[in-house]
Amino acid sequence: MLEVVSQDSVTPGVYGHAAKKLNFGEAGIPDFACPARVNAKFSAELSDLAIRGHLAIGALDISRVDIRLDHQGLPCLIEINTLPGLTPDFSDLCVIARAQGISYRDLILEILYLGAARFGLMALLPDMMAECWPIMPSLTSHIHMPLLR
């Protein structure tokens, strides 16, 4: 779970376009906390909201769910991005995966595995990928478990 702290960014209080296009280290970029600085119970509530949102729209495989807290601290789902960015060490999904100990390579493989599983192609993958990756990573603990947890 990634927390965007934007009070001191070029778009204070909002993770706006001007802030999103900045590179790490540039003036005005928001701070990021990953994992988010929330207690375990609230983290579970936010994860549940994100998963329910993902399932409600029929999203497949992965999504990035954006949640904002209102002035009373109540979570409001604001966006479900079914095609999140995958720029290594920059895109939110990649940052979240890295914080959970998932390498960029394994993240991409996981996305491929999820798509292959939907089409019943998992049995074919070891033969298809043997030349490229003789030892396939064991990511089964993450399949069907969004990266939010």
pLDDT number for residue 29: 79
Lowest mean pLDDT among 31-35, 44-48, 141-145: 141-145
Rounded distance between C-alpha atoms, residue 98 and residue 100, angstroms: 5
Do 131 and 94 fall within a single domain? no
Do 80 and 63 fall within a single domain? yes
Do 73 and 122 fall within a single domain? no
Do 52 and 70 fall within a single domain? yes
Q: Which residue has the higher pLDDT, 12 or 125?
A: 12
Do 94 and 116 fall within a single domain? no
In a domain, 27, yes or no: yes
Do 87 and 118 fall within a single domain? no
DSSP string, 9-49: SSSTTS--HHHHTSPTTSTTPPEEESS-S--HHHHHHHHHH
In a domain, 148, yes or no: no
* pTM for the structure as a whole: 0.72
Instruction: Please determine, for residue 136, whether its predicted confidence score (pLDDT) is greater than 50.
Output: no
Do 79 and 117 fall within a single domain? no
Using one digit for the tens of pLDDT, what is the confidence trace for 80-116? 999 998 988 778 888 888 888 999 999 998 898 888 8
Do 49 and 77 meet the contact criterion of CB atoms below 8 Å apart? yes
pLDDT number for residue 125: 62
**Position 65: which residue type?**
V
Tally of structural domains, the chain: 2
Using one digit for the tens of pLDDT, what is the confidence trace for 55-89? 999 999 999 999 998 999 899 999 999 999 898 87
User: Any residues with CB less than 8 A from the CB of 84 and at least 6 apart, and which?
Assistant: 62, 63, 64, 91, 92, 93
Instruction: Please determine, for residue 141, whether its predicted confidence score (pLDDT) is greater than 60.
Output: no
Provide the residue range defining the domain that includes 70: 3-101
pLDDT number for residue 51: 93
In a domain, 146, yes or no: no
Share of the chain above pLDDT 70, in %: 83
pLDDT number for residue 31: 78
How open is the CA angle 120-121-122, to the nearest 5 degrees? 100
Using one digit for the tens of pLDDT, what is the confidence trace for 17-39? 777 777 777 888 777 888 888 99
User: Any residues with CB less than 8 A from the CB of 34 and at least 6 apart, and which?
Assistant: 1, 2, 3, 95, 96, 99
Count of helix runs (H) and strand runs (E) in the chain: 5, 4
Q: What 3-state class would DSSP assign to 76?
A: strand
Token digits of residue 40: 């375990």
